[in-house]
Amino acid sequence: MFAPTFLNVELSQLWEQLEKWYRIDEKISVENLLNQYASIENCHEIATKNAQSIIHQLRQGKLNPLRIESLLRTYRLSTQEGLALMCMAEALLRIPDSSTKSRLIRDKLNLGHWKNADETTWVEKLANFSLSQISKFLSIGSSHSALSYIPGLVRRFGEPLIRQIMGKIIHVMGNQFVVAETIEAAYSKKEKTLYSFDMLGEAAKTRDDAKRYFEAYLNAIENLNGQPGDITEKSSISIKLSALHPRYELLKRDQVKPELCEILLKLCQAAKAAEIMLTVDAEESERLELSLEIIHDVFIHDSLKGWGGFGLAVQAYQKRAHVVIDWLIAMANATGEKLHIRLVKGAYWDSEIKWCQERGLSDYPVFTQKAHTDLSYLVCAEKILNASPLIYGQFATHNAYTAAFILEMAEQKSTTYFELQRLYGMGELLYKSIPSRCRIYGPVGIYKDLLAYLVRRLLENGANSSFVHQIHDEQTSIEMLVKSVKAQCNVTQGNAHPNIKLPIDMYGLYRRNSKGPDLSSYKFLKHTQKLLNSYSLEEYPALLRQDQLERFLSRADQAQNSWEKMGIEKRANIIEKLGDLLDDHRDELTQLLCFEAQKTISDCIAEIREAIDFCYYYAQQARTLMDSPVQFPSPTGELNAMSYHSRGVFVCIAPWNFPLAIFLGQAIAALVTGNAVLVKPSHQTPRIGFFAVKLAYKAGIPKDIFQFIHCKGADVSANLLVDDRVKGVVFTGSIDTAIDINRTLANRKGPIIPFIAETGGMNAMIVDSSALHEQVVTDVISSAFQSAGQRCSALRILFVQEEVADSLLCMLSNAMKELDINDSWNFSTDVGPLIDSASKEALENHVLYLKELEKTDQARNIYTCQAPKAGNFFGPALWEIKNIQLLKEENFGPIVHVVRFKANDLEKVFMQINETRYGLTMGIHSRLESTIAMAERLAKVGNLYINRNMIGAVVGVQPFGGEGLSGTGPKAGGPNYLLRFVHERAFTQNITACGGNTILLSTI
């Protein structure tokens, strides 16, 4: 499956190299690039001279006050004001209702100290800010003189006018980057300028979106037909593959590749007919290989022979960029067809770093030092120029030095077969000073579709390391701006940036991060697929009779003392060793999780990582807690301290939905603090638990200390929990069982023992009208349907502000149509089966209840996905209900209940959620600080997630656990968890008792 075939052997060999260089050590990569740079180093001197003169001119040019650069100079992105502006630009214009609009403006303006604003109210601040901007606007003398009435109007008309003014400012900001709303209007504006038009909007969420983008591209291509001249002298089109398919993801390769090839081919055929160039934009690094496969298949298609207009963007910030260029040149060579390459540095740098850290990957796919990206850019540029005229180079940059270097290289190679490129709204002055052909990347579309693009441009203009930012920063000397990449690399020594730690070292010296296998690596996917094709379920111990249980308890009880005496350091080392063994045995664990617990491949990875994190985190926590007693400030002559001691034998009762992570998490906490553990797996997942326990023995945990008791739940209660030798119980499961256990423990006559229970939740997400639909849809789908909704943190009730409910639900249900409900071992599966038929029956009964409500208009099915009939599949469903009170309990599966709310009723929504008495997770999607503050104040939940999904808590980062009916606490993976597993013993000694206060006497 993940073994693509290419036109010739050279391409296949280079393909292997792509994997090698993908996440290579930065130093190795830089060394290699420096070797290649040696042949072009001589361009530096002239490039410097030319760049210096350009920069000098640029610095003398006057900035237009309403331009982003100017605004970001006054309000830097690193300040609250800069962030507030960016947030307002991202959200204001999509909000349909005036009350939310006003709240957003008020929130954001109250956050900052706007320059020259002595006023105290937000209205005054706004008026000052907006009017100062508008008056600057007026002072540049334009047809906007009508705006001179504004000061008086603001006073008279208040908020509505303020909204309009603010909207106007944001529009002006956004419009800087958009050529026009339609391709027709854009084309008529173009005059003699060369453009590559881009239809705004990216990452289609639904088929409808993808179809709309396809038609927009096609229409644009048709509009560009009939231009005179050579193909390189005509305006062209740029497209994004993510806009053309709602599931453009590597795990869906088998479905996506043929579909996208067909769509791209149609666009290319249209571009060929119109005799223009078409360029595929570069997006996230994890999609690069899939995009190259698609590009290869389309590029070699017979119908495109002789066109010479196909091309793509390549990001130099990727460590493998130079191999990508080699591969592309080899591809063009193999066919003799012309190809153009737009070389960019790359627009997703900050996101690439974040994704990589979140996933615990071995290294970054991008450089972490700006100088290394610059070096890579120049080396790649040389390769492109050398391959002219088969390859037509398009060098996209706003950096005067980079541009001057390219020009000098081209001069030395005596080639003019290339062009430079800039973005619409940026780099105008730079390109006025450069004697070369320049094409403008020109976004076309309506404001609503601009947002993601606008945020990238704001970041680019505001980032400290960015040339366009530094050019207006007088503190950055011209010498700095033209410093040679070699000199810069001498300083960095090729090392990664010291402030950007590798994902594995993210937690510093405190603890190791768990490694995450790379789901974007073909090699890994091929390996995993083989694993999943060749698995047979392992054996596990037979169910114990209840009369056998006492023996286990007695052994544990007798052995516990020796385990405690072993001391914290040794125990912690053993637990860390267990973490390492889990890492070594990923393959078997993946097979077990996938086949026994029905987990999809990404869920398997996440669960194994969580189990490893528990090992590393609790080991380190236990060291801190138990290493030495805590000493307290005391009166002179007295020593006061407290130390922690194990309690004895714990019974841990694990759930089936996290049969490895929670199973081990509970047990490790007890073990590392010196307790013995009897662990009962869920009856649905005994194999996984048994395998984990065997690994624990291998790590060095004695067999009597950690015992696997595969038995019925009722037998645990009747035979173990009633026994005084059990000193603590940990349970994850339903609230009803937790109440039963609590009752059993309460009936014991002996000492009262700790009972830690994690139970379910009726988890809600609240979405107001400032939220971004695309982001909400992604987060709802993962929160509600990932793991087939069988997580206690999963989303059950979605509250949506009424003004945006229809449009959001339409996008959500269309996105649900793309969900693949299938066996968990298929890579493309989004929603696997439920754990058993009983779970399915419970959900079906709930749907019957909803259907009853439907008859009285209290409920409405918005959409239900089709699911395979055989097996325990259950189609994810979206039901609108009149109010939350109609739900009486948690429904453990992929059903989302939607409730609409009015903006003014937000507080009531929190109250209603609290009234369920569950309190596990909650999600908020809002750009309003005041809403987020309200949630923090009112939401009685253990885990509150803002503007993201609400599942997947990370050990030691998002301590997890609820309150009320959702659990007893303390939070798993949090700093207080281990305290429940220990006794606290205080120690007070009168030091003067044996001969006087020597310390006091010697200190005076």
Q: Is residue 482 within 8 Å of 55, Cβ to Cβ?
A: yes
Verify binding: residue 782, ligand FAD, rule CB under 6 A.
Answer: no
Among 178, 239, 276, 347, binds ligand FAD (CB under 6 A): 347
Which of these segments, 52-60, 463-471, 637-645, 889-897, binds ligand FAD (CB under 6 A)?
A: 463-471
Verify binding: residue 421, ligand FAD, rule CB under 6 A.
Answer: yes
970 cis-preceded (ω within 30 degrees of 0):
yes
Instruction: Give the nearest distance from C-beta 345 to ligand FAD in angstroms.
Output: 3
**Span 558-587, contacts to ligand FAD by CB under 6 A:** none
Residues 6+ apart with CB under 8 A from 798: 764, 765, 767, 780, 784, 896, 897, 898, 899
Verify binding: residue 552, ligand FAD, rule CB under 6 A.
Answer: no
Count, residues in the chain: 1004
Task: Name the DSSP letter for residue 365.
Answer: S
Instruction: Give the nearest distance from C-beta 244 to ligand FAD in angstroms.
Output: 14
Instruction: Give the nearest distance from C-beta 403 to ligand FAD in angstroms.
Output: 8
Residue number with CB closer to ligand FAD (65 or 311):
311
Give 629-685 as a DSSP string: PEE----TTEEEEEEEEE-SEEEEE--SSSTTHHHHHHHHHHHHTT-EEEEE--TT-
Verify binding: residue 397, ligand FAD, rule CB under 6 A.
Answer: yes
635 cis-preceded (ω within 30 degrees of 0):
no
Verify binding: residue 441, ligand FAD, rule CB under 6 A.
Answer: yes
Other beta carbons within 10 Å of 913: 23
Instruction: Give the nearest distance from C-beta 36 to ligand FAD in angstroms.
Output: 18
Which of these segments, 255-263, 369-377, 669-677, 842-850, binds ligand FAD (CB under 6 A)?
A: 369-377
Q: Say whether 792 is catalytic.
A: yes
Strand partners, 273: none
| Active-site residue, selected from the candidate residues 460, 607, 758, 803 | 758
Verify binding: residue 466, ligand FAD, rule CB under 6 A.
Answer: yes
Exposure of 230 by Cβ count < 10 A (0-12 exposed, 13-18 middle, 19+ buried)? Answer: exposed
Which of these segments, 40-48, 65-73, 313-321, 802-810, binds ligand FAD (CB under 6 A)?
A: 313-321
Verify binding: residue 598, ligand FAD, rule CB under 6 A.
Answer: no
Q: What does the buried/exposed string (b/e) look like for 506-519 if buried means 16 or more CB atoms within 10 Å of the residue's CB?
A: bbeeebbbbbbbbb
Verify binding: residue 241, ligand FAD, rule CB under 6 A.
Answer: no
Task: Name the DSSP letter for residue 368.
Answer: S
Among 26, 90, 202, 281, binds ligand FAD (CB under 6 A): 281
| Active-site residue, selected from the candidate residues 43, 711, 792, 865 | 792
Verify binding: residue 918, ligand FAD, rule CB under 6 A.
Answer: no
Among 203, 396, 664, 924, binds ligand FAD (CB under 6 A): 396
Among 44, 287, 398, 680, binds ligand FAD (CB under 6 A): 398
Instruction: Give the nearest distance from C-beta 450 to ligand FAD in angstroms.
Output: 15
CA gap 247, 815 in Å, rounded: 9
Cα–Cα distances in Å, from 505 out to 253, 295, 359, 500, 509?
Answer: 32, 36, 13, 10, 8
Q: Is residue 952 within 8 Å of 606, Cβ to Cβ?
A: yes
Residue number with CB closer to ligand FAD (317 or 644):
317
Strand order in the sheet with 706-708: 706-708, 676-680, 649-653, 726-732, 755-758
Verify binding: residue 646, ligand FAD, rule CB under 6 A.
Answer: no
Which of these segments, 9-17, 393-401, 613-621, 854-862, binds ligand FAD (CB under 6 A)?
A: 393-401
Verify binding: residue 236, ligand FAD, rule CB under 6 A.
Answer: no
Residue number with CB closer to ligand FAD (257 or 370):
370
Residue number with CB closer to ligand FAD (384 or 777):
384
CA gap 559, 571 in Å, rounded: 14
Among 29, 133, 362, 373, binds ligand FAD (CB under 6 A): 373
Give 941-985 as a DSSP string: -SEEEESS-S--PPTTTS-B--EETTB--PPBTSTTGGGGGEEEE
Verify binding: residue 101, ligand FAD, rule CB under 6 A.
Answer: no
Amino acid sitting at position 987 = F
* Of 525, 492, 521, 518, the residue nearest 503 (C-alpha): 518
- The token duo for 54 is 């350009």
- The token duo for 432 is 């006025």
Instruction: Give the nearest distance from C-beta 604 to ligand FAD in angstroms.
Output: 31
* Of 693, 722, 688, the residue nearest 705 (C-alpha): 693
Instruction: Give the nearest distance from C-beta 350 to ligand FAD in angstroms.
Output: 8
CA angle (921 as vertex; 915, 922 as ends), nearest 5: 75
Verify binding: residue 150, ligand FAD, rule CB under 6 A.
Answer: no
Give the helix ranges, DSSP H, for 436-515.
Answer: 451-462, 467-470, 478-481, 485-492
Size of the site for ligand FAD (CB under 6 A): 32
- The token duo for 313 is 């963007």
Strand partners, 422: 440
Which of these segments, 347-355, 521-529, 797-805, 891-899, binds ligand FAD (CB under 6 A)?
A: 347-355
- The residue whose two tokens read 């290294």 is 363
Verify binding: residue 345, ligand FAD, rule CB under 6 A.
Answer: yes
CA gap 33, 321 in Å, rounded: 11
* Of 809, 290, 13, 733, the residue nearest 298 (C-alpha): 290
Instruction: Give the nearest distance from C-beta 248 to ligand FAD in angstroms.
Output: 15
Verify binding: residue 467, ligand FAD, rule CB under 6 A.
Answer: yes
Residue number with CB closer to ligand FAD (405 or 892):
405
Verify binding: residue 367, ligand FAD, rule CB under 6 A.
Answer: yes
Among 102, 232, 369, 492, binds ligand FAD (CB under 6 A): 369
Q: Is residue 378 within 8 Å of 485, Cβ to Cβ?
A: yes
Which of these segments, 109-117, 344-352, 507-515, 766-774, binds ligand FAD (CB under 6 A)?
A: 344-352
Verify binding: residue 344, ligand FAD, rule CB under 6 A.
Answer: yes
Verify binding: residue 496, ligand FAD, rule CB under 6 A.
Answer: no
Residue 817 phi/psi, 5° resolution? -60, -20
* H-helix or E-strand spanning residue 393: strand 391-396
Instruction: Give the nearest distance from C-beta 415 to ligand FAD in angstroms.
Output: 20
Which of these segments, 326-334, 462-470, 672-680, 703-711, binds ligand FAD (CB under 6 A)?
A: 462-470
Verify binding: residue 313, ligand FAD, rule CB under 6 A.
Answer: yes
Verify binding: residue 393, ligand FAD, rule CB under 6 A.
Answer: no
Q: Measured over all CA atoms, what is the biggest interatomic distance in the chain, rounded to whole angstroms?
A: 106
Verify binding: residue 368, ligand FAD, rule CB under 6 A.
Answer: yes
Catalytic annotation, residues:
758, 792
Write out the residues near ligand FAD by the rule CB under 6 A. Answer: 281-282, 313, 315, 317, 342, 344-349, 366-370, 373, 396-399, 402, 421-423, 441, 460, 465-467, 497
